Structure formats: structure tokens, C-alpha cells
Amino acid sequence: MPRMNMVQALNSAMDIMLDRDQNVVLIGQDIGYFGGVFRCTDGLQRKYGEHRVIDAPIAEGGIVGSAIGMGVNGLRPVAEIQFADYIYPGCDQIISELARLRYRTAGDFYAPVTIRTPCGGGIRGGQTHSQSPEGIFTHLCGVKVVMPSNPYDAKGLLIAAIEDDDPVIFFEPKRIYNGPFDGEPDKPAVPWSNHEKGEVPSDYYTIPIGRADVVREGEEVTMLCYGTMVHVCLAAAQAMDVDAEVIDLRTLSPLDVETIRQSVEKTGRCVVVHEATRFSGYGAELAATVQETCFYSLEAPILRVTGWDTPYPHAFEWDYFPTKKRVSKALEDVLEMA
């Protein structure tokens, strides 16, 4: 089985779907001749032509609006927003049009649009290239929200997203575009560094949207995480020698509540980890879900490890980023609680 990093796995997914379905098209800024700023679409325009891999102006509202029109008229567009920080000009199209289209037409119309966008920090991108806005879209009825943590999942989930008849916001943690890391600041701080690759089938396969993955089984505490934080949580659990069960949510909406419930009922403790800001962050929804479904099994308060409630800093990026040290402290605290 070939070994790929996440960039290569995503490219493979789009290559397969462009070849498999003539209705699949790509649209985004610099995705064609340049191959995307992170090279996720490298070579696809040369292979499939400018009418299937479309270079768009710097206008996120136009990119999303065009994708909606394509979807309504029978295509399966995959729109790229170059950085998640730039998705906000397209939010009116996503919230007011894309998410509500099937509902407002009583099912007469739908738009199978996938919106890909790199998110998160760890590359010294500063406040305008490091945000994690996934919580905004999990609050939105009518769209699905996905964030993979490894190349194998990235390919299978992206293919599933493209084939889905509902809109999917597909967040790609750029810190792990080229492989996992353990969340420490002495690691290379650019996304094209030479990291490990994962085994990824070269042909077609899917991973169901809405199903979490238990990446590490344990009995003492449940760790809920996704994207880059999966690797940080695994590193923290190993460093602390804690019998932690680590759950990679993979899909944030719809959420795999049953997998979470089974784990927390077994362990009695829960730590939630995400990179986005704390207040009203996605971790609050996870904590509420655990409290509502597992209250009588909990032996300690649910703890959160998150980014701070500030703009993402450039000079102090690793003070903001949830590191192995911060996650390890949360594990220590939750295990000491009666």
C-alpha cells in the first residue's frame, strides 16, 4: 500500500472523483495553474482541463455562490477557500443560501457542495492565517462539518463528502498536512516539513461521515479531540503513562454521540481538547453532551484544554497552541479529582 501525507491523500481523493464522476468540478483561488497554496490540487488542472478545475478570483463569496449554482444545476463542486480565515466573506452564501436550500424548497432543490479549507495554527501564520472557525459551522443547521487527523481518513472522508448530497464544510489542519507531530514547539514550524506518511490505498474508498474513531483504548479517562489535537492527545497520554481512551471525532456535525457515551460511561472522566478559542467553542458542546448523556457515570468535572480567547498571536504562537504539556496537566488534574 502506498504511503502518503495528507496533501497527497487529498489530491488522490479529488483525482479519483474527477475521473469517476464527470459532474465533479473544483473551484478556488490559485487551485489550477498553481496547484493550490499547499499543493493539494497540484496537477489536476493539467489532467482534467480548465473547465473542471477552475481558477477563481479572490472573492470567497463569489466562489461559494458559484459552487451553489453549480450544485443546484447538477454538478458536484468542490470549492477551496485558501485559508479558513478567509471563509467569512462567503458566510452569507453558506448560511443564508447553501445550508437552507433543501429546507426552503421542501426538498425540490439541493446543492451537493463540498467546501475545503485549511485551518489552525502551528505554521507561524499569525492572526489571519491560523484560525479554527469550525464551531461557527457546527452551529449551522443544514451543513455537515468534517475535520480529519490523518491521511487515510482525509482521503476517505473527502470522497464521502463529495458524494454526499448535503453540503459539507471540510476543514484540513494545515499543521499536519505533511504528517503527524507531538505538539511540541521544537518541531518544524512549516507545513511542508518532512514528516511521516501514512498508508493510504491508491484506489477508491470512503469513510462514513458521522462516525468517530477510537484511536487509543483506555480505562481511566476519555479524551475527545479532532484534527491536530489527536496527535497532541496521543503524545500526552503516552508521556503521562495514563490509560486514556482517545477518540478522534473526525466528524463534528453530525456528532457520534454513542461512541462518546460508551467511552465516558466506561472511564468516568473526560478531557476535551481543541485548538479554537475556549468561550463558546466546540468543546462547550462536547462537555454539555457528555454531561447530559453520562452524568451518573462521571467521577470528576469535565475539563477543557483549548486556545485562548484572543486573536491568534504570531510571536507567541506556542503559548496559544494547546501543547502536550498543557494536555498532560489536564490529565493529571482530572485523575486527581475525587
Helix (H) or strand (E) holding 261: helix 257-267
Contacts of 150 (CB under 8 A, 6+ apart): 6, 176, 180, 198, 230
Q: Which residues pair with 168 in a beta bridge?
A: 114, 144
Cα separation values, 145 from 67, 83, 171, 215, Å: 17, 16, 8, 20
SS3 annotation, 153-194:
HHHHHHHHHHHCCCCEEEEEEHHHCCCCCCCCCCCCCCCCCC
Query: Residue 129 catalytic?
Result: yes
Dist. CA 125–CA 129, nearest whole Å: 5
Dist. CA 238–CA 244, nearest whole Å: 9
User: What are 137's three cell numbers?
Assistant: 459551522
Q: Name the nearest CA neighbour of 269 among 337, 216, 329, 325.
A: 337
The active-site residue, picked from 129, 139, 274, 314, is 129
Dist. CA 219–CA 45, nearest whole Å: 49
Q: Regarding beta strands 213-216 and 244-248, do their DSSP bridges make them parallel or antiparallel, or are they unpaired? A: antiparallel
Pair 162, 136: CB distance under 8 Å: no
Among all chains, which residue has been given the C-alpha cell 491568534?
Answer: 312
Dist. CA 328–CA 323, nearest whole Å: 9
Cβ neighbour number for residue 50 with a 10 Å cutoff: 11
Dist. CA 102–CA 167, nearest whole Å: 10
Dist. CA 155–CA 142, nearest whole Å: 23
Catalytic residues: 129
